[in-house]
Structure 1
Amino acid sequence: MYGLEPPFVGVLASAPAAFERIKDPPLNERTGRRQWSGDAAKWVVGWATATPVTVQAKVESIRGLTVDETVAVQGLANCCNTRKWPCGTGKPRQPF
């Protein structure tokens, strides 16, 4: 396996102070360990990740999928019909 490197090394190599960043891996909330992954490296250097982590990144990924207005409207309608509304009814509140 000589000559192969983990996927995060190439990502971090493009960032300033790459060697300093490699020494301090982020906490993986799923495992509870500090470790690097491809997505973690992308997140640290500000690149888009395969799995969005922050609310803003999730919004941006949805925005990219809803370029077509018809798809955006249908997606919003489907989201509004979920059972995760604060009042627990599964329906949006009626306008005043």
Structure 2
Amino acid sequence: MPIPESAAYLAKKPSVPPTFEGVDYDDTKALKAAQDAILREQWVKSMMARVVRAELGKCYYREGVNHLEKCAGLRDRYMELLKHSKVKGYLFEQTNYVPKKE
């Protein structure tokens, strides 16, 4: 059962998607909100990889010589998360964003 979100958390929760799509670059608040959302998403991915790495270390220690069989799921998940876990910032996406033509 999920934990209900508090009012303080909901006030800080970003309301914009982590992309520059549809953002007016002249509107400073919208631009900063998009930048914050992108950085927040990158940090979440990084921290998720850190949590899985800690669980993988515990599994290796707990399983001993059987860690290759018992910890395979965690190892595969960690290797997938490692691809996207680096915090790169928002400048590349911001300067190289090409709007879609309709």
Q: Same fold (TM over 0.5)?
A: no
TM-score by length of 2: 0.24
Which has the larger helix fraction? Answer: 2
Which has the larger strand fraction? Answer: 1
TM-score by length of 1: 0.26
